[in-house]
Structures are given as C-alpha cells and as structure tokens.
C-alpha cells in the first residue's frame, strides 16, 4: 500500500529536496506551499515543476495559516507522516519584518497543531533551528541543553513552536519530533543564503561580505544528509517510556527534539575557500562587524541522531560546495 506524506513548504529549498526524496521512493506526496515572494518565485516554480514530473505528487497552493485548508488536507489524505517545513526563514529579515514571522511560524504552526488534534497523524515532524541555542556558548550543542536566550526574533518564534508542539503532544497524544537544522546548503538553495550570495558575487567579480571580521564557524550540513536524517527519523515515532541514552524524549509526552547536523564546526574561511576552488577564481573580501541577532559559532552534537537512526552520510564540504556551484552555473546558464 502506497504511503502518504504531507509536506508544508514543499517548493522551498529543504521542502523540495524532501519531497523529491519521498517521491523517488514511491511515496505519495501532498505538497502545500504559498509560493510567497520572500525571494524570486521563479526558483520555487522551477523546483515545483520538477516535483510535478512525478505522477504521485499533488501540489496545493495555500498557506498553513488557513485552518480549513489544513483540516481538509488531513481529513482527505490521512497522511502517514506530516513534515512541517513552511516558515518565514532568515535571522536578519526577522529584524526588518518580525510580524511575518509571527504569522507564518507561530500562527501557522498553531493551525497545523489544531488540525492534527482533530485529524490524527502517525507522526508529526516540525522544523526548528540551531538558532534556538542563542547565547549558549557550551558546544557542541546538545538537545538537552538550555535554549532560553534567543538572539533573534526568528529564533524566538522557533523556540515558541517547540513549546507549543510539546503542549499538544502532551494534551492530545500527538507524536511529535522537532528537528533542529544547522547551516544547510546545497543545490536549489535560497538566494538569501551565504553560499548562494558568495557564489554569485565571486562569479560576478564582486566582493563578498564577511561578518564578525570573518571570524565565524558553522556546522555546515549538506541538504541530502539532512534529508536522510529526516527520512530515517520519520520511522522513529516518539513513545513515552522508550528513551535512548542522552535522549530529549519528554517524560510527559510523545515528544522529542533532535539535532540534524554534521557534528563538526568549520571556520567560515574554509567555506569560502571551497567556493573559490569550485568557482575557479578568488574572492575579494569585505570584513564587517557582527550583525544583530547573529552568533559567532554553531556546532551540533549529533549523538542522539546517531543513536536513533545510526550513522547518516556526512558529505565533505568541498564536495557539497562544488555540487552547488555546478548547479548554480547550470541553472543560470553560465
């Protein structure tokens, strides 16, 4: 029997890759996306066109803030898994337009939780972010660490959705896994992401901007590795009383938080060097102070993920960056 997954934000960067993976494995995929203009909608259209080449894909245009639409989709399709990726992304944009984060991230997640309350699903998976660790400098970040001091409103909305989802898991026994993404990169990425901006600038002969004078470190996670972790986690439904070593499993709800990262913190300069190598030309650097809401370092403790689903692939940075640069050149016909 064909299984069904509902993916919100299916025309987005991570949503596209997740949907494509499930379609390639024969699942039926219901893809909900509002096709908002936060960045060029043509890129979202191109991603969705590739998904629509699969006969078992159904595209639904709409917002997660629409309670009637969500209830209809859950009632009609009865998905085995729901993966909630729709959100307003970006740390810096949350300073410019915080209200959009309130609507998409908090209200949108609330509407989905309400729909799942009335139309139960086998496993509800919700995207969070490494940004929730905020001012915490104890690394690598563990899921059981405190995350009480968000540095941006984006991070605050994601932390809020974790708390909201836990309450619904407790009250209505909805199995929920929150997965915290670290710096995800790869083909079909968003234009506001560092890899996209750096590649475009280097190929156009313009300087790249490095914040905190370039003294930054990130746990760079290749998108295919992230998707592998998500797909494997979908089969590990949280159950009370069935914790593993070092688990974040709630004592009062079928609720778990899991980091999905490479488990390695890499200097930003190494990232830039990989782009230079793939692009075949050097970058001109403009060094700037730290941006509000940003943090100098991220680093995932991926131990819980490994204990739950065994080792996932760890794409080397140079290989992942080259795959993006090759895609960028092909997409832009360079």
- Kindly state whether residue 25 falls inside one of the protein's structural domains: yes
Give the per-residue pLDDT at 2: 87
**Maximum distance among all Cα pairs of the chain, rounded to whole angstroms:** 57
Q: What is the mean pLDDT of residues 204-224?
A: 96
Asked if residue 197 is part of any domain, the answer here is: no
Which of the residues 154, 168, 222, 328 is marked catalytic? 154
What number is the average pLDDT over the span 100-110? 95
**Locus of tokens 């204990």:** 307
Domain extent for 149: 4-182+221-263+299-315
Strand partners, 61: 33
Q: Which two tokens stand for residue 76?
A: 């009609």
Q: Is residue 330 part of a domain?
A: no
**pLDDT at 310 (0 to 100):** 87
User: With 90 as the cut, is the pLDDT of residue 205 above it?
Assistant: yes
Residue 191: its pLDDT value, please?
95
pLDDT for position 95: 86
Give residue-wise pLDDT tens across range 51-75.
999 999 999 999 999 999 999 999 9
For 105, what's the count of Cα atoms within 13 Å in the CB-facing half-sphere? 25
Residues sharing a CB contact under 8 Å with residue 260, sequence separation 6 or more, in sequence order: 179, 180, 181, 182, 221, 226, 229, 230, 233, 300, 302, 305
Q: In whole angstroms, what is the distance from residue 68 CA to residue 318 CA?
A: 45
Q: Residue 7: which H helix or E strand, with range?
A: strand 4-8
Instruction: Give the C-alpha separation, 16 to 7, whole Å.
Output: 9
Average pLDDT over residues 196-208: 97
C-alpha distance from residue 276 to each of 138, 191, 212, 228 (Å): 32, 18, 20, 28
In whole angstroms, what is the distance from residue 48 CA to residue 53 CA? 9
What's the pTM value of the predicted model, to 2 decimals? 0.97
More confident residue, 247 or 92: 247
Q: How far is CA 86 from CA 13, 101, 107, 161, 301, in A?
A: 10, 11, 12, 12, 25
The total number of structural domains that make up the chain: 1
Q: Please state the rounded mean pLDDT for residues 292-302.
A: 92
Confidence of residue 334 (pLDDT cuts 50, 70, 90): confident
Percent of the chain with pLDDT strictly greater than 90: 91
Asked if the structure places residue 272 within a domain, the reply is no
- Which pLDDT belongs to residue 143? 97
Residue 169 has pLDDT above 90, yes or no: yes
Inside any domain, residue 63: yes
Average pLDDT of 234-260?
A: 96
CATH number at residue 77: 3.40.50.720
Buried b (16+ CB within 10 A) or exposed e, 92-105: ebbeeeeeebbebb
Residue 21: name the closest of 214, 203, 190, 231 by CA: 231
Inter-residue contact 232 to 312 (CB < 8 Å): yes
Q: What is the pLDDT of residue 118?
A: 96
Mean pLDDT along residues 295-302: 94
pLDDT-derived band at 91, boundaries 50, 70, 90: confident
Across 202-221, average pLDDT: 96
Q: Looking at the predicted structure, is the pLDDT value of residue 311 above 90?
A: no
Catalytic site includes residue 16? no
Give a yes or no: residue 286 inside a domain.
no
The distance of Cα 87 from the centroid of its chain, to the nearest Å, equals 9
Query: How many Cβ atoms sit within 10 Å of the Cβ of residue 237?
Result: 17
Q: How far apart are CA 87 and CA 292, in angstroms?
A: 21
The mean pLDDT value of the chain amounts to 96
Query: Tens digit of pLDDT for each residue in 274-290?
Result: 999 999 999 999 999 99
pLDDT (0 to 100) of residue 238: 98
* Residue 287 belongs to a domain: no
Structure tokens at 274: 């990989």
Residue 275 belongs to some domain of the structure = no
Residues, the chain: 334
Share of the chain above pLDDT 70, in %: 100
């Amino acid at each position: 029997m064909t299984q069904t997954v509902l993916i919100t934000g299916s025309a987005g960067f991570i949503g596209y890759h997740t949907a494509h993976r499930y379609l390639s494995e024969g699942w039926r995929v219901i893809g909900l996306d509002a096709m908002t203009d936060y960045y060029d909608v043509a890129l979202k259209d191109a991603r969705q066109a590739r998904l629509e080449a699969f006969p078992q894909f159904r595209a639904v245009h709409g917002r997660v803030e629409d309670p009637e639409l969500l209830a209809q989709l859950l009632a009609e399709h009865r998905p085995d898994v729901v993966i909630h990726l729709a959100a307003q992304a970006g740390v810096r944009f949350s300073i410019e337009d915080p209200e959009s984060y309130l609507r998409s991230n908090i209200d949108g997640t609330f509407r989905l939780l309400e729909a799942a309350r009335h139309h139960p699903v086998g496993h509800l998976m919700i995207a969070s972010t490494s940004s929730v660790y905020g001012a915490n400098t104890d690394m690598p970040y563990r899921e059981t660490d405190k995350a009480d001091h968000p540095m941006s409103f984006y991070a605050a909305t994601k932390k809020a959705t974790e708390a909201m989802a836990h309450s619904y898991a407790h009250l209505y026994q909805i199995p929920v896994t929150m997965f915290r993404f670290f710096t995800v990169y790869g083909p079909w990425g968003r234009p506001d992401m560092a890899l996209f901006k750096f590649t475009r600038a280097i190929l156009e002969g313009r300087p790249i901007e490095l914040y905190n004078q370039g003294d930054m470190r990130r746990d760079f996670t290749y998108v295919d590795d992230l998707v592998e972790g998500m797909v494997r986690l979908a089969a590990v439904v949280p159950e009370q009383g069935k914790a593993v070593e070092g688990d974040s499993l709630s004592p009062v709800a079928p609720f778990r938080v899991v980091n999905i990262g490479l488990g390695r913190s890499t200097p930003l300069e190494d990232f830039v060097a990989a782009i230079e190598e793939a692009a075949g030309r050097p970058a001109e650097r403009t060094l700037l102070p730290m941006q509000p809401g940003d943090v100098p370092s991220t680093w995932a403790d991926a131990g819980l993920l490994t204990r739950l689903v065994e080792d996932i692939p760890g794409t080397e940075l140079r290989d992942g960056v080259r795959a993006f640069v090759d895609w960028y050149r092909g997409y832009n016909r360079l």
